Structure 1
Amino acid sequence: MKQLRKVQLQSKSIKDITNGYPLILKDAIETPDIPLEEGNLLHLVDKSGGYIATGYYGTQNKGIGWVLTRKEKEQIDKKFFAKKIREAVEKRANLFASEDTTAFRVFNGEGDGIGGLTIDFFNGFYMVSWYSEGIYSFQEDIYHALDEVVQTRGVYEKLRFNTNGQYVKQDDYVSGEKGEFPLIVLENKMKFAVDLNDDAMTGIFLDQRNVRKALRDKYSEGKTVLNTFSYTGAFSVAAVLGGSTGTTSVDLAKRSLPKTIQQFEVNDIDYHTQDIKVMNVFDYFSYAARHELKFDVVVLDPPSFARTKKMTFSTAKDYPKLLKDALKITNEGGLIIASTNNASFNMKKFKTFIDKAFKETNTRYKIVEEHQLPEDFTVPHNFPEFNYLKVVFIKVMDVNL
């Protein structure tokens, strides 16, 4: 039985949590000297001892835990977790029934009622990601609940709560069938190779599903496409399948080359006809400008923060520069797909970065499409700040007016 600790909340936090805010912030507790351990259940009360909510203690980014229920008598046990997972599965019935897509998010943390926990589906296999030691302490109940709700081919997990920036597990297998990797999954009929037991990543970012489809269906035919920070080349695959006349994939990681080749091969694309560069994206911008290379479509999907020997990059401060560099090698009338998963700013702020870059280069532009998280990445109602993905399709109208 989990230890239940009574914790008094600050008055502002009481209002937020009563209104449905799911995150327990670091400054939410009135008496912060109370000793708490990861996984403690928190009985959240006001100064009179009146019940507000029940949560758990688990340090993660700016929070110290998540609200689980606002029903005082509700027990946090296997039955509770099974109910939450069942509700999430029912919401995604159309995806489970799809023959065109066999990889998607089944449970999206706070959006489905349990912050710090995500569950992804990969062609019968389930990948469970844990974002704090606190939520991981419930693993036995949660895994039993998952087995009760869905038929799992096999289960893998990712532990994402270490403090030194390094991935903490060598073997991610949990139970069921051991997968033979690469595992081939479908996304809107496109094939992607994934590995659920290969460090922190799987080979594809599921939250970009609708963006890849838009690129394939509407913006690739007859176009040259540059895919920067390309990871395993998923956007490049989408572009080729959409009729691109040629793609260039650029990523600094050495493993991006074999991984991108693999993604092309599983889609029966001759990778020799595509360009794959292992180099710093900013160096590639300079290279392309020197050689007067220009593209019809440029995909910008950088990490929120990156550090190399030469430089550090942060989307919060450097995105305008990234856009200006991209503009130099984008054809007039071309398209820039600007994306970020940085949760520290919203879509409105992101658009100010875009406007700044275009104004400083005297370039007119038109936003033709916007995306945020797809429907399986449920976010808490009335709290758009949890919708971290921001993607803007920008048409470059005319340059240097």
Structure 2
Amino acid sequence: MAKKITLKVKNKFINKYKNGYPLLLREAILNAEQLKKEGMLLRLADENNRFLGKGYYGRQNKGYGWILTQNENESINQNFFDNKISKALNKRRSFFQDKTTTAFRVFNGEGDGIGGLTIDYYDGYYVITWYSQGIYAFQDYVLRSLQDVTAFKGIYQKKRFNTGGKYVEEDDFVTGVRGEFPIIVKENGVHVAVNVNEGPMTGIFLDQRNVRKAIRDKFAKGKRVLNTFSYTGAFSVFAALGGAEKTTSVDLANRSLPKTIEQFSVNGLDYEAHDIKVMDVFKYFNYAFKKGITFDMIILDPPSFARSKKHTFSAAKDYKDLLKQAINITEDNGVIAASTNYSGFGMDKFKSFIKQAFKETGKKYKVLEEHDLPEDFQTITAYPEGNYLKVVFIKKYSK
């Protein structure tokens, strides 16, 4: 790694960093021209060269890297990574002891003290995700730390960063024993087929664990459930296991059909008793509205940004209108599980979209419950963007 350089922070951002904000914002740095090679160590200082923190250079989203410590005497070395990863694993001790859930997050980036890095656990297999070339420069430290303090079947890694102008989504087997995929993990007693060797998505989004449990235990019984942007159909499986009368899963990706069939099958459910549709969700909403098809429950969990041949969706701009389409085909007294993982706004803003959507459709609603990230997705108050998940269960009424 290159030698450490000093980055100067503009005066108006100093208190933000003193209060523990970990992301090196581009607009906060005075001398960004000093940044040459990702992975180089940084000393953060105010305009009078007074110490603010230490970190590394790694381009990710709106940032130039992450602050790792506010202790001027702390070194960023093997011992630093050993301590951070050991501490994170100890916090998840109860998860490792839970026989009903064998897939969860064991290291959550800046929430556990190292921005740009996540580590997930799938029944003995660890999956490291590197979000910048900068954090990847510390690969040897992280791998050694993980191998020294865990018993593992195998370790895989995923690289999600730009290099040479080309976006990389690469999966590598690192060490241990190669898995025979899919492997079957458990989440609250439900079987889930996962593939940690098939791209950035493994087959289930671990951050929705508590939401899936709520759907199964509280909301699905006797309901006709529509699961939009359904991916591998995990929400549908939990709904079916919760006693749903029927589920309909809709996703544009061709892979969603075999993957959803697989998830139903590993739980001993008859997938043919449910509908699995490979089509544009926006087209399906129009189709259902024209045909008078309605549902008792709709799960609305779109990606932050999506593009099909005829539609471009942005959560920041379009969620309200998408929710209006869902409202139009939800039965009175039906429930909508509205969800977004967009980090650019908080829960209050999200709930304002909900309020406006119901106002414009002339319907009343009641918020039944709210969810954010589960406890294994550790966050810090100094970085609210890190607590990105927002889920609201809404009951619809007519005026």
**TM range, normalised to the smaller chain?**
over 0.9
* Mapped partners of 2:200, 2:337: distance in 1: 26
Aligned to 2:105: 105
Query: SS at 1:107's partner residue?
Result: strand
SS of structure 1 residue aligned to 2:101: coil
SS of structure 1 residue aligned to 2:337: strand
Q: Which residue pairs with 1:89 in the alignment?
A: 89
Q: CA deviation at 1:210?
A: 0.2
**Offset, 1:111:** 0.3
Q: After TM superposition, give the deviation of residue 130 of structure 1 in Å.
A: 0.4
**Aligned match of 2:152:** 152
TM-score for the superposition, normalised by structure 1:
0.97
- How far off is 1:168 after superposition? 3.2
Q: Which residue of 1 aligns with 2:169?
A: 168
> 1:153: Cα distance to partner?
1.3
Q: Tell me the C-alpha RMSD between the 2 structures.
A: 1.2
Query: Partner amino acid for 1:24?
Result: L
**1:82 positional shift:** 0.9
Aligned to 2:334: 334
Code of the residue aligned with 2:30 in structure 1: it is E
| Residue pairs, 1:356-375, within 5 angstroms | 356-375=356-375
Alpha-carbon distance in 2 for matches of 1:55, 1:93: 28
Partners of 1:219 and 1:25 in 2: CA distance: 41
Q: Which moved more, 1:24-33 or 1:311-320?
A: 24-33
Q: 1:152 to 1:223 in 2, by over 3 A?
A: same
Tell me which moved more, 309-318 or 9-18: 9-18
Is the contact made by 2:231 and 2:260 (CA closer than 8 Å) also made in structure 1? yes
2:19 and 2:382 in contact (8 A); partners too: no
Matched, 1:292 2:292: yes
8 Å CA contact retained: 1:172, 1:196: no
SS in 1 for 2:231: coil
Q: Matches of 2:244 and 2:197 in 1, distance apart?
A: 32
Shift of 1:2: 4.5
Determine the C-alpha separation between the residues in 1 that align with 2:318 and 2:8: 40
**CA apart distance, 1:383:** 3.3
For residues 214-249 of structure 1, give each alpha carbon's deviation from its aligned partner in whole angstroms, at most 9, with x where no partner exists.
000000111110000000000000000000010000
State the 1:52 CA deviation: 1.5
Matched position secondary structure for 2:213: helix
The corresponding residue for 2:247 is: 247
Alpha-carbon distance, 1:212 to partner = 0.1
Q: What is the distance in 2 between the residues matched to 1:289 and 1:99?
A: 43
Aligned residue type for 1:118: T
SS at match of 1:235: helix
Q: Structure 1 301/165 Cα, relative in aligned 2: closer, same or farther at 3 Å?
A: farther
- Cross-structure match for 1:53: 53
Structure 1 consecutive aligned stretches of length 4 or more whose deviation exceeds 3 Å? 163-168
Aligned residue number for residue 65 of structure 2: 65
The verdict on how the C-alpha distance between 1:165 and 1:331 changes in structure 2, with shifts beyond 3 A counting, is farther
1:337 is matched by which residue type in structure 2? Answer: A
Distance apart, 1:308 and its partner CA: 1.2
Which residue of the partner structure matches residue 210 of structure 2? 210
Bigger Cα displacement from structure 2, 382-391 vs 241-250: 382-391
Shift of 1:12: 2.5
CA distance in 1, matches of 2:80, 2:207: 27
Secondary structure at 1:162's aligned position in 2?
strand
Query: How far apart, CA to CA, are the structure 2 residues paired with 1:196 and 1:254?
Result: 19
Q: Residue 388 of structure 2 corresponds to which residue in structure 1?
A: 388
- Equivalent position of 2:30 in the other structure: 30
Change (3 A) 1:29 1:115: same
Query: How far 1:36 sits from its partner (Å)?
Result: 2.5
Structure 2 segments unaligned to the other structure (5+ residues) = none
Distance across 2 between alignment mates of 1:12 and 1:127: 38
Give the unaligned 5+ runs of structure 1.
none
Identity %, equivalent residues: 57
Does the CA contact (< 8 Å) of 1:162 and 1:168 recur in 2?
A: no
What is the CA–CA distance in structure 1 between the aligned matches of 2:353 and 2:344, rounded to whole Å? Answer: 14
